Amino acid sequence: MEPTAPFGRGSDTRLSAIADPTLMIAGSGALVGHAWLANSYTDPVPQPLTVEEAMALARDLARSGDLTGAAQICVKVLQVAPDQPQALHLLGMAALQKGHPGEAVELLRRAVRSDPHFAVASNDLGSALALQGALAEAAASYRQAIAQAPDFAEAHNNLGNLLQMTGALEEAVARYRTAVGLRPGYAEAFRNLGSALRRLGRLDEAVTALRTALEIDPAFTAAISQLAHLLKELCDWTQLDELTAQLIGIVESGSAAVNPFVFLSLDTTPRQQWLCAKRWAADQLGATGERPEASQGKGRITIGYLSADFQEHATAHLTAQLFQLHDRGRFRVIGYSYGRDDGGSARRQLSESFDEFVDLLDCSHVESAARIRADGVDILVDLKGYTTDARPEILHLRPAPVQVSYLGYPGTLGTDAVDFVLVDRQVVPADEQRYFTEQLVHLPDCYQVNDRRRPIAPRIPARAECGLPETAFVFCCFNSAYKITAPMFDIWMRLLGGVPGSVLWLLEPNRTATANLRREAESRLAGGAARLVFASSLANPKHLARLGLADLFLDTLPYNAHTLASDALWGGCPVITCVGRAFPGRVAASLLRAVGLPELVTQRPADFEALAFELALDPLRLRAIREKLQANRLTTALFDSRRFTRHLESAFETMWRMRVAGESPRPFTVAPIDW
């Protein structure tokens, strides 16, 4: 499905643990006890040493990269000076580096209690807490660091990241501007500023901030990937080939710094996407938690659905009926929401569709995982992946015996915390299993769920109300701007040139993208700018109703329409697509086959263009296709919500039998159910 924005929580709001600059310490991670220090530092500590001399030696070791050795000395210091704040701080940072955030938090708390004026320790405590998802306490810790050291640029940046995570974007921008004002060469703060400005819709300012970050550090991979995606949102294609090649080279070289969703939206292969995701997961998420035991001999299987999008969102439009249709004699169904309550009807409807609806918004990752585990969830289904506001840290703590990726992210998550991914043979053939860390579960028909109760507004507007010509041919593409590429736009402009009077109806993006598209259209076709018509956003029922005004929906590559292709088909508008190289570019083909229109699936861009011309110039043939679509909507698999639910439940039962039997997860195919 289509994420609301391109960056997952692990990318655009990552918190860096910034230690005392003289020590050059940073890290993330938790631990009970100090077993990780055993036999790790064998050089004898010179005797006698004062506490100050020992700490100087510890700092020297830390500065040289031997943080474990420094921690060994700190343990000795704390035996004679239990409240020595710098020793507690260094030991806490060592615990973070070793992957033990729980112990790190306790050590850093002790350091701050011992010296409330120790701004560096307060800042690092905030970062350790934020890594655990304890955001309110982390914010208080950052603010304490700033109160003690108002010119502490790192603390301002880290607080900005936390504010961005929680949606306080204007305040986040102010914090980043303070950070770069204090340190003009602070590339990370400029990158974070670009992220916040993008989320505020101030895209041109965001580009400036990202370009500044890259002027400071031309090899700053996170800024490169963020700039690439932002330029796609602006339909500014001048630098994209160069940036794409650069990012592919970075991934192929072994880097873990490229955001997986950004990479997914580029023209990349399944293998490259797998490399990117698994390196990202290992770097950002670390070791996976211990898998809980499966309870044998129990009655109903408990399914937990985990998402930030239980509100007015594409996920809600697709899944609402699924949650209601689950067989309550076989399944108990719980919704776990960590997104904000928008107060809308979709939120209310969704919350009432579950046996229980749990709000995790204010819970840390550890608290969220503990709640899921305490609820006895057998199969946890993640609906977010690495899209905006995702919290993969919860999955990584392994709260459920079986964990599944579904719907929100069209690719591998690259982590062994997830056992299965739900797909179909069109979007991910069986021979691509090697490019998924999850085991492939092939559903019959189409992997994408749909809600056949989705209302279409009873009144269809006149074309003139939408700025469309009454009689001319209307090509349509309501995909997000970042999916529109120069090669596809070339095809669209040739179609407009070859079909007299035709127009291209697009969903209105941001102001800059609109201007760029008009300019690109004019450069390809005389009068091309005037042939573009832009549609504003509408409530879903009205959006579905107006889709019927278009004659033909043109898909994009390398990232197809997902939810919007379903929207078009549900609204009665035929979609033509071209099959891409990877999962994101194969979804529309899966949808069309499931609705009985395989003739609208092409294999090459040239075939796509030829088919669009043929249909635009043959009204009788197009009318027959529209009539076939109308007949198939309620008689084929795509919008048969009950059939889909039974297939999904069969998949869940197979997963659970496997787990109860003590078997390792393996790929399997769900047999179609005969009605």
Question: In this model, does residue 281 exceed pLDDT 70?
Answer: yes
Residue 437 clears pLDDT 70, i.e. is over it: yes
- From CA 602, how far away is CA 231, in angstroms rounded? 28
Strand partners, 362: none
Three-state DSSP at 135 gives helix
Average the pLDDT over 216-232 and give the result: 97
Mean pLDDT calculated for residue range 232-258:
96
What is the mean pLDDT of the segment spanning 418-441?
98
pLDDT in tens, 509-544: 999 999 999 999 999 999 999 999 999 999 999 999
Report whether pLDDT(1) > 50: no
Assess whether pLDDT exceeds 60 at residue 314.
Answer: yes
Neighbour-count burial for 131-155, b at 16+ CB within 10 Å, e otherwise: bbbbbebbbebbebbbebbeebbbb
- Please give the Cα distance from 400 to 61 (Å, whole number): 41
Token pair listed for 564: 């919007």
CA distances for 581 relative to 120, 287, 391, 395, angstroms:
48, 31, 28, 28
With a cut of 60, say whether residue 20 has pLDDT above it.
no
Per-residue pLDDT at 16 exceeds 50: no
The percent of residues above 90 in pLDDT, for the chain, comes to 82
Q: Is the dihedral of CA 545, 546, 551, 554 positive or negative?
A: negative
The CA–CA distances, whole Å, from 512 to 454, 520, 531, 555 equal 33, 12, 18, 22
pLDDT 10s digits, 606-645: 999 999 999 999 999 999 999 999 999 999 999 999 999 9
Residue type, 172: A
| pLDDT for 100 beyond 90 | no
Q: Tell me the range of 38-52, 227-241, 292-306 where mean pLDDT is highest.
A: 227-241
Give residues with Cβ within 8 angstroms of 500, minimum separation 6.
none
297: pLDDT strictly greater than 90: no
Cis peptide upstream of residue 558 (ω within 30 degrees of 0): yes
- For 117-141, write each residue's pLDDT tens digit: 999 999 999 999 998 889 999 999 9
Among 521, 583, 597, which residue's Cα sits nearest to residue 553? 597
Whose CA is closest to 262, among 250, 279, 244? 244
| pLDDT value, residue 286 | 79
- The 3-state secondary structure of 377-405 reads CCEEEECCCCCCCCCHHHHHCCCCCEEEE
| Strands lying side by side in the sheet with 331-337 | 356-359, 331-337, 301-307, 379-382, 402-405, 420-423, 439-442, 668-669
Q: Return mean pLDDT, the chain.
A: 91
pLDDT for res 272: 98
Of 490, 652, 485, 611, the C-alpha closest to 558 is 485
Two structure tokens written together for 539: 């409530």
Residues 354-379: b if buried by 16+ CB within 10 A, e if exposed: beebbebeebbbbebbebbbebebbb
Predicted local confidence at residue 479, as pLDDT: 97
Of 413, 419, 100, residue with least CA distance to 279? 413
Integer angstrom CA distances of residue 148 from 93, 116, 142, 155, 475: 20, 8, 10, 11, 60
Supply φ then ψ for residue 90, to 5 degrees.
Answer: -65, -40
Whole-number Å distance between alpha carbons of 176 and 312: 30
Tell me the CA distances in angstroms from 560 to 54, 485, 579, one per residue in order.
Answer: 61, 11, 9
Give pLDDT, residue 47: 52
Half-sphere exposure of 275 (CA within 13 A, CB side): 14
Contacts of 410 (CB under 8 A, 6+ apart): 1, 264, 427, 562, 583, 584, 587
Domains of the chain: 9-185 (1.25.40.10), 301-442 (3.40.50.11380), 463-632 (3.40.50.2000)
Say if CB 130 and CB 105 are below 8 A apart.
no
Closest CA to 173 of 200, 139, 143, 196: 196
Q: 34-54: per-residue pLDDT in tens?
A: 444 444 444 444 457 888 989
Judge whether residue 428 has pLDDT over 70: yes
- Ordered DSSP codes for 347-376: HHHHHHHSSEEEE-TTS-HHHHHHHHHHTT
And the tokens for 662? 């003590």
Question: For the CA atoms of 396, 397, 400, 403, what is the dihedral angle to 10 degrees?
Answer: 0
Sign of CA dihedral 619, 485, 208, 160: positive
Q: Which tokens belong to 546?
A: 């107006």
Confidence of residue 68 (pLDDT cuts 50, 70, 90): confident
| Whole-angstrom distance, CA of residue 567 vs CA of residue 573 | 9
| Beta carbons within 8 Å of 644's beta carbon, 6+ residues apart | 322, 443, 445, 449, 450, 637
Helix (H) or strand (E) holding 497: helix 486-498
Strand order from edge to edge, sheet including 552-554: 532-535, 503-507, 474-477, 552-554, 575-578, 601-602
pLDDT above 60 for 230: yes
Angle at which helices 169-182 and 153-165 pack, to 10 degrees? 160
Joined tokens for residue 358: 């749990």
- Sequence-distant (6+) residues with CB within 8 A of 90 are 23, 25, 58, 59, 62, 67, 70, 71, 74
Write down the pLDDT at residue 38.
41
Query: What pTM does this model have?
Result: 0.89
Residue 394 has what pLDDT?
96
- Break the chain down into helix, strand, coil percent, rounded to 5: 50, 10, 40
pLDDT at 97: 85
Nearest to 220 by CA among 183, 184, 252, 259: 259
pLDDT for 675 = 59
